[in-house]
Amino acid sequence: MKPEDFDLISTLVKDRSGLVLTKDKLYLLESRLVPLARKRGMSGLGDLVAVLRNGRDERLVSDVTEAMTTNESSFFRDIKPYEHLRQMVLPRLMQSRASRRQIRIWSAAASTGQEAYSIAISLREESAKLAGWRTEIVGTDLSNEVLEKARTGFYTQFEVQRGMPVALLMRYFTQVGEVWQIDPSIRAMVKFRPQNLLASFAALGAFDVVFCRNVLIYFDQQTKTQVLAKIARQMPADGLLFLGGAETVLGISDAFRPLSGFRGVYELTGQTRH
Ligand SMILES: C[S@@+](CC[C@H](N)C(=O)[O-])C[C@H]1O[C@@H](n2cnc3c(N)ncnc32)[C@H](O)[C@@H]1O
C-alpha cells in the first residue's frame, strides 16, 4: 500500500473513532480491509482507497472505521472489577442512594456485550439486597455490528468458556444447539445503543458507575483526556469509573484519581466540575 493511501485511511479512522493506526499496523489494516473491499465487489484496496478519496460513500467510511476496531472481550474480564462492583461499589451506592433507590451503570465500549452482561449477572447475584431498587445498565459502542450481536445474547462455547464461571453459566444460560443463550431476564436488564465516545453523550444521562475498559488504549493522549473529561461530566460527585488493566488516568486526566485499595477503580476529583 502506498504511504499516502495508508495516511488517508489512518486519518479517516482517527477522525471518526479516535483509534490511532501507526505504520506497524499496516498488516492489520490490509487483513481487515481486503475482505471488506471484496464484500463490496471491489477488486482490492486500490479500489477502496479510490472510493474513500472521492469522499462520497459515507457508509464505506463507517464500515472501514468499524472494521479497524478491536472488539476483543470476555465475560468477567480480569474478574477483580466485578468483585469490586459487588463487594465495594454496590454497598457504597446503596448507602448513598438509599432515598432514591436507583443505580445507573454504563458499559461505554461494550463490544459484543460480555461486559454489560457480566455487570447484569453481578447485580442479579445481589438481587436479595437490591430488592426494591431500580437498576439500569446501558451498553454502548461505536460499532453497530458488535451491538447487534450483543443484543441477541447468543455466545459460542469458546466465548462462554472465556471467563464465565461454570455455576453462573448453568444459572444464566441455556444451551441451544452449538451456542449458549443468555437468560431473557438478564438480557432485559441491558439496553444497547450506538454511541461514539468522540461525540457528545450528554443525551445518555448520568451514570453512577462507568466501565470504560480497554478502549482508551487505542486513543492518543489528547483524545483520552477529552473522553475522560466528558465521562466525568456524566457522573455524580461520588460516581466511580472502571478502566482496563493497561489503562490509567495518571498524567492524562485531573478529573479522576485512583481509588486507594481498588486497582482499576477511579473516583472523581471534582476538578473539572466547575
Ligand atoms: C477491546 S473492546 C473492549 C470491550 C470491553 N470493554 C472489554 O473490556 O472487554 C473495544 C471496543 O471499543 C469500541 N470503540 C472503539 N472506538 C470507539 C469510539 N470512538 N467510541 C465508542 N466505542 C469505540 C470498539 O468498537 C470495541 O468494541
Question: Over the stretch 108-158, which tens digit does the pLDDT of each residue have?
Answer: 999 999 999 999 999 999 999 999 999 999 999 999 999 999 999 999 999
Query: Within 13 Å and on the Cβ side, how many CA atoms surround 58?
Result: 0
**Residue 72 in contact with ligand 1 by CB distance below 6 A:** yes
Å from CA of 64 to ligand 1 middle: 15
Strand partners, 182: 173
Instruction: Give the C-alpha distances (Å, rounded to integers) separating 218 from 102, 141, 222.
Output: 33, 14, 12
**Residue 19 in contact with ligand 1 by CB distance below 6 A:** yes
- In the prediction, which pLDDT does 273 show? 46
Å from CA of 142 to ligand 1 middle: 7
Å from CA of 129 to ligand 1 middle: 31
- Ligand 1 mutation target, pool 12, 112, 142, most atoms within 8 A of CB: 142
Q: Are 100 and 208 in contact (CB under 8 A)?
A: no
Å from CA of 104 to ligand 1 middle: 20
- Ligand 1 mutation target, pool 72, 78, 111, 140, most atoms within 8 A of CB: 111
For residue 18, the ligand 1 atom closest to its alpha carbon is: 19
- Ligand 1 mutation target, pool 32, 141, 224, most atoms within 8 A of CB: 141
- In the prediction, which pLDDT does 274 show? 38
Q: Are 198 and 17 in contact (CB under 8 A)?
A: yes
Å from CA of 214 to ligand 1 middle: 7
Closest listed residue to residue 193, CA positions, set 120, 106, 252, 257: 106
Å from CA of 108 to ligand 1 middle: 8
Residue 52: partners with Cβ closer than 8 Å, 6 or more residues away? 8, 9, 12, 60, 61, 64
**Residue 204 in contact with ligand 1 by CB distance below 6 A:** no
Q: Which residues of the chain have pLDDT under 70?
A: 272-274
Closest listed residue to residue 95, CA positions, set 70, 130, 141: 130
In the chain, % helix, strand, coil (3-state, to 5) comes to 45, 15, 40
Closest listed residue to residue 196, CA positions, set 31, 15, 28, 36: 15
Distance CA 129, CA 14 (A): 44
For residue 219, the ligand 1 atom closest to its alpha carbon is: 16
Å from CA of 219 to ligand 1 middle: 11
Q: Give the CA diameter of the chain.
A: 62
For residue 198, the ligand 1 atom closest to its alpha carbon is: 19
**Residue 169 in contact with ligand 1 by CB distance below 6 A:** no
